[in-house]
Structure 1
Amino acid sequence: MSPPETLSLSLGPVLFYWTRERYADFYCEAADWPVEIVYLGESVCSRRRDMKLDDWLGIGRELAESGKQVVLASQTLIESEADLRDLRKLCDNGEFVVEANDQSAVQRLAAAGVPFVAGAALNLYNPAAIGVMARAGMQRWHAPVEMSRSDLARLLADCRAEGLEQPCEVFAYGHLPLAWSSRCFTARRHQKPKDRCQFVCQKYPEGLALRSQESEEVFTLNGIQTLSGACQDLRHEVGDMAEMGVGVARLSPRAEGMAEVVAAFDAARRGELPAADPLALVEAEICDGYWHGRPGMDNTRAVRPS
């Protein structure tokens, strides 16, 4: 059965630290991809200053001319007055909707009466919290990345019963953002202090793999952010998402192979994806455990020897 055609695809903000040239090339290609929403901006570390707000606004205008809905993602961990100044400029940009990833952004946007998107880091787990955000001006919300399919289905049903109709977004592809810290783990790996890190995270355009003693990729280090070691891949679940009322499937950018990822999800939402198989879209370990109520690093579609 073909899924409803209401599920949109979004391209999340780039979580890793790329060069200006890589950003420019990536979004030039993304303008032609079948995604309806594109998130822009530095949401991880304020020390990553290659791209200024004006640079993101310029890319956003070009994407908007290509028919994309552009959203500016705010920083998730606010640590200083300088971070707050940058946040104020972002919230007051006057052109594009902002994804609030911190309560400071929510407060600024709500006080100004400006609609916003609620990011996953706001941890909206129940209708009461979603209702508070809706009254503050939230127009779309991102489900917590560890929420299972059954819990989300129940939450969406409860929201509908209470008249909360704001669309829900699900993290459908990419390394799952799990935690943020005031320490920079990538700098520490290179024995450098955070304030003199020499931007070593730019050496890892898809993050630094952290392996267990058994050589299993448990986490991915991305500066102050910790991500899952494997990529969540829910392309075979998009039909179910649409049926249960999810409005947007988010695809988190990777340095290589992203066009193929987008094409596969676009095919999936049109009901044209082949039967499930254990092959990854790109060369990466795959996980989907959280969605199925299991440990997040599980791959329920992996073929295991009998």
Structure 2
Amino acid sequence: MFAKVKDSMSHIKLSVGPILYYWPAEYVREFYHRVAGSPADIVYLGETVCPKRRELDLPDYLQLAHQLREAGKEVVLSTMTLLESPADLRMLRRYCDNGEFTIEANDIGAVGLLREQGLPFTVGAAINCYNAQTLHQLVQFGMTRWLVPVELSREWLQQLLSQPEVADIRSAFAVELFAFGHLPLAWSARCFTARSENRAKDECDLCCIKYPDGRPVYSQERDKLFTLNGIQTQSGQRYNLIDDLPSMAGLIDAVRLSPQAQETPNWIYEFHAARSSNTYRSREPDDSNGYWHRLAGIKTLSV
């Protein structure tokens, strides 16, 4: 039985999600240079949080995409999560019309464009998909991989995938799970990072570049509750499911590591070791895994 679990774990792919923070261009390029030489199988590229972050534009991401593909990675271009202007829509069309790389749709508008063109796509966790009917419909539209909403538990996912309308098409799409990083929880038209510096959103001076892992928010008891990342609110604690990989065997096809400013390439190697052997770096004491175990997200359950 243990051998079967290990064999199923070895088939779980490792993905590196899009960088959610605002990093200098050279830092981004150096990061992907390290990812290119790592055991990562899938790499997502693109700005998904704020269109004002323009250290890299689509041609820059396409250049990185070619380099990563030459290194043997599957490359996916990720779209914006919250579309607020005609310029955002034009950029979305440019991504969808790239002609080479699969798109991760993070807004239902992207799904519509890709469906019109008959193109396959992946779906990010920001698109609300919590029932069998929605999942079935997205597959009908052309979805080939689904990033599970971050608050779904293993039990919920197992029940969802076992429903007849999903079980019948299970071979048509892959299931990806957010397994490392600060969880993206919500998006707003307001920029909370700018507000935290008493700046107006339109006069933010791109201050989020000063916070390469977002800006932490603490309770009066000094507990870290959230992380501010521009218009995005993330979990305060880092989510880390490296010790939970055995529970994913036969259920999850890929686990996503969301880039952090430090150590993410090292954690890629640790997840690779965890899916193929018994020796790896375990979760840090402050990391959480609550949602996967049907607990509050901030909680940690030892496994």
Question: In which range does the TM-score fall when normalised by the shorter chain?
Answer: over 0.9
Contact 2:192 2:228 in 1 (8 A): yes
Tell whether 2:255 aligns with 1:268.
Answer: no
TM-score (norm. length: structure 1): 0.94
Map of 2:257 onto structure 1: 251
Distance 2:18 2:300 in 1: 25
Contact 1:117 1:140 in 2 (8 A): yes
Contact 1:123 1:143 in 2 (8 A): no
Aligned residues, how many?
Answer: 296
Residue 157 of structure 1 and its aligned partner are, at CA, apart by: 2.0
Distance 1:234 1:45 in 2: 27
Contact 1:185 1:224 in 2 (8 A): yes
Contact 1:178 1:226 in 2 (8 A): yes
TM-score (norm. length: structure 2): 0.95
Alignment counterpart, residue 249 of structure 2, candidates 242, 248, 251: 242
Residue 127 of structure 1 and its aligned partner are, at CA, apart by: 1.6
Distance 2:153 2:128 in 1: 14
Distance 1:95 1:129 in 2: 27
Map of 1:107 onto structure 2: 112
Map of 1:119 onto structure 2: 124
Map of 1:291 onto structure 2: 292
Instruction: Map 1:188-203 to 2 at 5 A.
Output: 188-203=195-210
Map of 2:37 onto structure 1: 32
Residue 3 of structure 1 and its aligned partner are, at CA, apart by: 4.0
Residue 271 of structure 1 and its aligned partner are, at CA, apart by: 3.2
Alignment counterpart, residue 204 of structure 1, candidates 211, 221, 231: 211
Residue 236 of structure 1 and its aligned partner are, at CA, apart by: 1.2
3-state secondary structure, aligned to 1:120: coil
Residue 85 of structure 1 and its aligned partner are, at CA, apart by: 0.5
Contact 1:277 1:301 in 2 (8 A): no
Matching residue's letter, 1:297? I
Structure 1 runs (4+) greater than 6 angstroms displaced: none
Contact 2:242 2:282 in 1 (8 A): no
Tell whether 2:59 aligns with 1:54.
Answer: yes
Instruction: Map 1:130-279 to 2 at 5 A.
Output: 130-158=135-163, 161-165=167-171, 166-243=173-250, 245-273=251-279, 279=284
> Are the structure 2 counterparts of residues 57 and 146 from structure 1 closer, same or farther at C-alpha, using a change threshold of 3 Å?
same
For structure 2, the 5+ residue unaligned runs are none
Q: Deviations over 1:188-221 (max 9, x none)?
A: 1111111110000000000000000011110000
Residue 237 of structure 1 and its aligned partner are, at CA, apart by: 1.4
Residue 277 of structure 1 and its aligned partner are, at CA, apart by: 5.6
Q: Over aligned residues, Cα RMSD in angstroms? A: 1.4
Alignment counterpart, residue 96 of structure 2, candidates 91, 96, 99: 91
Matching residue's letter, 1:31? A
Q: Deviations over 1:110-130 (max 9, x none)?
A: 000010001111121122111
> Are the structure 2 counterparts of residues 278 and 102 from structure 1 closer, same or farther at C-alpha, using a change threshold of 3 Å?
closer
Residue 298 of structure 1 and its aligned partner are, at CA, apart by: 0.6
Contact 1:98 1:117 in 2 (8 A): yes
Contact 2:243 2:282 in 1 (8 A): no
Matching residue's letter, 1:53? L
3-state secondary structure, aligned to 2:170: coil
Q: Deviations over 1:203-248 (max 9, x none)?
A: 00000000000111100000000000011110011122123x2100
Tell whether 2:18 aligns with 1:13.
Answer: yes
Residue 258 of structure 1 and its aligned partner are, at CA, apart by: 1.1
Distance 2:52 2:283 in 1: 38
Contact 2:45 2:76 in 1 (8 A): yes
Q: Deviations over 1:42-76 (max 9, x none)?
A: 00001101111000000000000000000000000
Distance 2:119 2:31 in 1: 29
- Worse overlay, 227-236 or 255-264: 255-264
Q: Deviations over 1:143-194 (max 9, x none)?
A: 1100011101111222653323211000000000000000000001111111
3-state secondary structure, aligned to 2:255: strand
3-state secondary structure, aligned to 1:59: helix
> Are the structure 2 counterparts of residues 213 and 160 from structure 1 closer, same or farther at C-alpha, using a change threshold of 3 Å?
same
Matching residue's letter, 2:193? T
